[in-house]
Structure 1
Amino acid sequence: MSTARVRAAVAADAPEIARIQHVTWRTAYAELLGEQALATLEGNAEQRWAEAIAHPETTVYLATEGEFAVGFCVAGPAPDEEIANASGELPEDADRTGLIATILVEPRWGRRGHGGRLLAGAAGGLRERGAERGISWVAESDSASLSFFRRAGWRPDGTVRTLDTGERRLRELRLTGDLEIELVG
């Protein structure tokens, strides 16, 4: 049986992270995003991921199973525009709130606990940086991701945003939850 783990990504992981994003978006999110948004992945994705890995304020986590990279997560302090309410006001704990910017597990590696390990690893990293709670944005129509976060104890906080993908309008819910995440099973 292969060992599954989560670690901080390094620059050499950028090509695999770009590949995972490409495969996952094309497999799981094509109808949600549309072809125009998917086409943006074709460009300099590896370069963008190398820059994200090098960014001092965020951590990109990589899930592996044996020798294979199977998923990733990006976490860091929540920017003011991500945590503010609709009128632009910041909550009292804004400086202690972390953002889980994305969690993606390649579909063929799904249902093996990689998403939970990624979330727990990112939550632990955010706690080490002084965060007390986390937020994440999830497409309202993405029932699998919403269910995943609900199992972790995260809930919608009533804030929504609409993104224009170029072909579609994508409504997202802001979820919030505790960073004391324990894996079960």
Structure 2
Amino acid sequence: MDRSVEVVIREPTAEDADGLGAAHVAAWQIGYRGLMPSGYLSRLDAGARAERWRRTIVEGGSDATTLVAMVDDRIAGFTSYGPPRDDVDDGWGELWALNIHPDFWRRGIGTALFSAATNGLVGLGYSHAYLWVLRGNDRAIAFYRRQGWQPDGEVKIDDQRDFTPPLVELRCSTALV
């Protein structure tokens, strides 16, 4: 069965905020099941996340470029990329986020967004790039490996939330050019 779909990738508008919030929360609730506390995941609120997206789109406030993937007028996922948020060598950019609504997993949308983000990083002048992925997120790690990005041995503790044990993230990286 062909599960590919026609995807339009573009910059988001304020009207996309509700769809972004829904995709963001659904991706986390399913994608991080078993990796983050279930109580935390169940409390994620698509409406609250949509308001954060709306503010970011309207007011700016982020150094990242965000792109959305549209399928039949529905937000299927998004990516954000841009300057590194970590102390890295010159020439390195960061893929900040890649989230696909579970309804659209394994339909080519993640690959399309990933390619757009990688091309965007090259367009911004970066020769190398990295991303952080939650340890144990084997599905995401396998996806990044298929794109040519490999875990490079760097690890960080995500202490933004009061989880016990804290979250551990692995860095994946690649040469872009």
Q: TM-score range by the shorter chain?
A: 0.7 to 0.9
Distance 2:42 2:30 in 1: 14
**AA in 1 matched with 2:162:** G
Aligned in 2, Cα 1:109/1:162: closer, same or farther, shift over 3 Å?
Answer: same
Distance 1:133 1:61 in 2: 20
Q: Determine the structure 1 residue equivalent to 2:84.
A: 78
Matched, 1:62 2:68: yes
* SS of corresponding position for 1:57: coil
Question: Cα distance, 1:78 vs. partner?
Answer: 0.7
Contact 2:7–2:71, Cα closer than 8 Å, also in 1: yes
Question: Any gaps of 5 or more consecutive residues in structure 1?
Answer: 85-89, 181-185
Q: TM-score, normalised by structure 1?
A: 0.81
Of 151, 162, 175, the residue aligned with 1:166 is 162
* SS of corresponding position for 2:63: coil
Q: How many residues align?
A: 169
Q: Determine the structure 2 residue equivalent to 1:179.
A: 176
Matched, 1:44 2:44: no
Question: Cα distance, 1:27 vs. partner?
Answer: 1.9
Question: Any gaps of 5 or more consecutive residues in structure 2?
Answer: none
**AA in 1 matched with 2:63:** E
Distance 2:67 2:127 in 1: 19
Matched, 1:23 2:18: no
Distance 2:113 2:123 in 1: 15
Distance 1:75 1:25 in 2: 18
Q: Which deviates the most, 110-119 or 4-13?
A: 4-13
**AA in 1 matched with 2:171:** R
RMSD: 2.1
Aligned in 2, Cα 1:36/1:166: closer, same or farther, shift over 3 Å?
Answer: farther
**AA in 1 matched with 2:170:** L
Distance 1:136 1:52 in 2: 21
Distance 2:94 2:122 in 1: 11
Q: TM-score, normalised by structure 2?
A: 0.85
Runs (4+) off by over 4 Å = none
